[in-house]
Amino acid sequence: MITLDELRKWTPEEKFYRKYARMKRNPQKFQQFLSTLDAGNLIEHGLVIPELPETVPSYFMDEYAQSCAEGGLIPEKRHRCQPAFLHQHAFFEIVYVLEGKCLHASTSMEREMEPGDLCIIPPGVEHRIYIGEDDLALAFRCSVAAIRQIFVLSRFRDTNTVVAFFSANSMTGGSRNNSCLFMHTEHNEELRQLALDIYEENQNRYSQYIPALYAMFELFWAKAMRYYLSSCEVSSDLPANSLIVQAVYDYIRNAPENANLPALAQRLHYTPEYTSKLIRQQTGFTFSDLVSQAKISKAAHLLKNTNHTVGHIAELVGYRNAESFIRAFKREFHMTPTEYRKHI
């Protein structure tokens, strides 16, 4: 069984990037360091140095995800200290943070991911990723065909945020609105172990590793959806309206128990009708969908992190009674709040 200690070992690529990162702090030494580099040599080794623009690929082709594993599903360790250059690719990239943090940036926003955080980056979405010296993250690279096979043609039939996101972004072969999906699986040990098992399976490549890889990847998502669906956030990059969407999310998440459309509309200086339409357009959900999701999400958080009774939590997140809370919770999680608390 692979351990984090093994993943913490520095690969030759990481050593090179660490040297680059450390040199960069001293401008004089850094110029000297750069002058020793040969762009052709770097390109040959797939090493990226932004100061040598010819080494920076702006687009990674699908062949990468198709050729490296016949299956189109490649789990890798994300290089630590690799400079965060803006790029996009023809495949899906799913980043999973193991420890420390991971900087994820799009053209308009930055976000710090924490251990257990997942980020789904669809084909064609411009982004930058940075993993520091003390961080660890895995990247699952998946061809569009592999994602379609798993989430569209396969057994994931319940439509939910994650399946819908994968579906929508694998239909056209590119992102429709330049957005990524974030999911927070916190310190779930089962998911972390599965992610490590997937990585290890691909390192070993024993017989039948391809069906094993797919099976573990599907199991990973089934379990992630089971417990953390309510933590999903779609980060839209639409320049004008994303601030509005963010404001809507902030308003609702802050106190879902008190959220109401007229009050929100007033804050945004829109009519309730226009606000409602904007939300549907930008998020794909209605205002009351978002409120319900936020209530359940807050409730799940309280179930995990407090000893409050189910009845008290129902009250805190704004349900009239425990029964309607339990019903709503079961709709989302297919289990009762008590079962959820036991399993988490």
Binding site for a copy of itself (CB under 8 A): 71, 154-158, 204-212, 214-216, 218-219, 221-223, 225-226, 229, 332-335, 339, 343
Residue whose pair of structure tokens reads 């991971």 in the numeric block:
102
> How far apart are CB 33 and a copy of itself at their closest, in Å?
41
Rounded Cα distance between 316 and 291, Å, is 14
Q: Which amino acid is at 157?
A: R
Q: For strands 92-99 and 73-77, give the pairing.
A: unpaired
Angle between helices 242-254 and 272-283 (to 10 degrees): 100
Q: Which amino acid is at 297?
A: S
Q: Is 224 in contact with 165 (CB distance < 8 Å)?
A: no
**Which residue, 221 or 251, is less far from a copy of itself as judged by CB?**
221
DSSP letters for 194-245: HHHHHHHHHHH--TTHHHHHHHHHHHHHHHHHHHHGGG-EEE---TTTHHHH
**Which residue, 91 or 156, is less far from a copy of itself as judged by CB?**
156
**Which residue, 2 or 219, is less far from a copy of itself as judged by CB?**
219
**Which residue, 45 or 331, is less far from a copy of itself as judged by CB?**
331
> How far apart are CB 230 and a copy of itself at their closest, in Å?
11
Q: Is 302 in contact with 339 (CB distance < 8 Å)?
A: no
> How far apart are CB 221 and a copy of itself at their closest, in Å?
7
> How far apart are CB 197 and a copy of itself at their closest, in Å?
10
> How far apart are CB 300 and a copy of itself at their closest, in Å?
13
Q: Which residue in 160, 164, 169, 178 sits closest to 228, CA to CA?
A: 160
**Which residue, 229 or 299, is less far from a copy of itself as judged by CB?**
229
